Amino acid sequence: MDVSASSKDRILELIQGNPFISQQELGERLGITRSAVASHIAQLIRDHRLLGRAYVLPTTEPILVAGGANLDRAAKCIGPARMATSNPVAIRESFGGVARNVAENLARMGLPVRLMTAVGDDASGAALLKHAREAGIDTGPSLIVGGGATGTYTAMLDPGGEMVIGMSDMAVTETWTLEAINSRRKLWASTRMRVVDLNLPKELIAEFIEDSRRSGASLVIVAVSEPKMNRLPKSLQGVSTLILNAGELAVWTGRKSKSLASMQAACSQVLDQGAGSIVVTLGGEGVLYCGEAGKIQHLKAPRAKIVDATGAGDAFSAGVVAGLFQHPEDLLRACRIGQRLAALTVGSRASVASDLTPAFLAAPHRIKKSHESH
């Protein structure tokens, strides 16, 4: 009998009995090293016999996350940022992209995730997909584009970590076609929760919305920029939750004022277009959120020390998705989780907090009542 296969089968049995068992304990139970356990688990994930950081078994439907993935470059100014001239900076690289960041956050929280993205057939693309698989993400539906270049996102940050300007090359994402996603339909049509960012071509976004409307699957749309708001169809029926910022909301609704009253009216307009709920991020001013009952509420932002703001918006979206995955009717709790995860992320130098674990979701997600207003 293949000893390696026997060990993998035994690991699977032990995980079925306790999905949160540690690799150290698995090694002790089987009499093998922790590194050997890690190798077997990585293979089980590649074989789709395990999904997620908490070793979630494939009987649990994964969350589909579809959209952009790229190589992030953050250039942090050493002194005050000045336009139209050279700035001394410190540069770091990491894997990023809205969908990819959301997927990694979810996987680190122990949730089952399936990533549908596009990368080039280059070293960056291969490394990005490998990193995702090692994080516990199923990359089965992803597209590798022959002759294409993996996307890049470059952000210039001020000394405090706030973005001055962002530049993206996401051309590889535009290679997605309806034929390509339909050829992968068995990998996403059965999922009951989907997260789609607006990096995808317009016709694909419309297809996901229509399929979710027909099937009743929960669909979260995450905006990525003001110019890409035109990728949404006029009817939002089929969209369970729309997550966007104040600028994107203004572009979508045509309401230029960013006053609280104007944004509240804009939220009502989005609900009238068919969205089930809407969440509007306001940076340091917190978030607005509104569900089917039509009551628009404001949740102030918790205090957070900013080391690097890169990835904070994606972390917030992932927190909202995680909250809704656990408790679909509790949008307030989901927003609180999103805020707490964003606060954790801005305190990290990585676009996804390296110390994020499944224990995060087990912690109470409460914000003092004084942080809530109407």
Say how far apart CA 61 and CA 42 lie, in whole Å.
19
Yes or no: domain 1-50 corresponds to CATH 1.10.10: yes
The tens-digit pLDDT sequence of the chain (374 residues) is: 455 677 888 888 887 766 667 788 888 888 898 888 888 888 887 776 776 555 555 556 899 999 999 998 889 999 999 999 999 999 988 899 999 999 999 999 999 999 999 999 999 999 999 999 999 999 999 999 999 999 998 989 999 888 899 888 989 999 999 999 999 998 899 899 999 999 999 999 999 999 999 999 999 999 999 999 999 999 999 999 999 999 999 999 999 877 878 888 999 999 999 999 999 999 888 999 998 677 889 999 888 888 777 789 999 999 999 999 999 999 999 999 999 999 999 888 788 998 899 989 877 655 444 344 44
| Cα distance between residue 305 and residue 319, in whole Å | 19
DSSP assignment letter at 51: B
Strand order in the sheet with 277-281: 113-116, 63-66, 193-197, 218-222, 241-245, 277-281, 287-290, 296-299, 372-373
CATH number of 60-373: 3.40.1190.20
| Owner of token pair 């949740």 | 299
Amino acid identity of 231?
Answer: R
Contact partners, residue 316, CB within 8 Å, separation at least 6: 243, 281, 287, 338, 339, 341, 342
Q: Report how far residue 352's alpha carbon sits from residue 346's, in angstroms, rounded to the nearest whole number.
A: 9
Outline where DSSP puts E strands in 193-337. 193-197, 218-222, 241-245, 277-281, 287-290, 296-299
Distance CA 133, CA 353 (A): 17
- pLDDT at position 368 is 45
Q: Which two tokens stand for residue 168?
A: 């993206």
Phi, psi angle pair for 306, to nearest 5°: -90, 120
Q: How far from each other are the two terminal CA atoms of the chain, in whole angstroms?
A: 65
Name the token pair of 117. Answer: 């993205």
- For 13, 121, 158, 174, 192, the CA distances from 147, given in Å and listed in that order, are 42, 6, 35, 14, 34
Assigned token pair, 42: 């990585």
Give pLDDT tens digits for 88-128: 999 988 899 999 999 999 999 999 999 999 999 999 999 99
Domains of the chain by residue range: 1-50, 60-373
Provide the CA 217 distance to its chain's centre, in angstroms.
18
**CA atoms of 239 and 5, how far apart (whole Å):** 43
Using DSSP's 3-state secondary structure scheme, residue 34 falls into: helix
pTM of the model: 0.79
CB distance 210 to 305 below 8 Å: no
In this structure, the number of other CB atoms found within 10 A of the CB of residue 96 comes to: 27
pLDDT tens for each residue of 29-75: 888 988 888 888 888 877 767 765 555 555 568 999 999 999 988 89
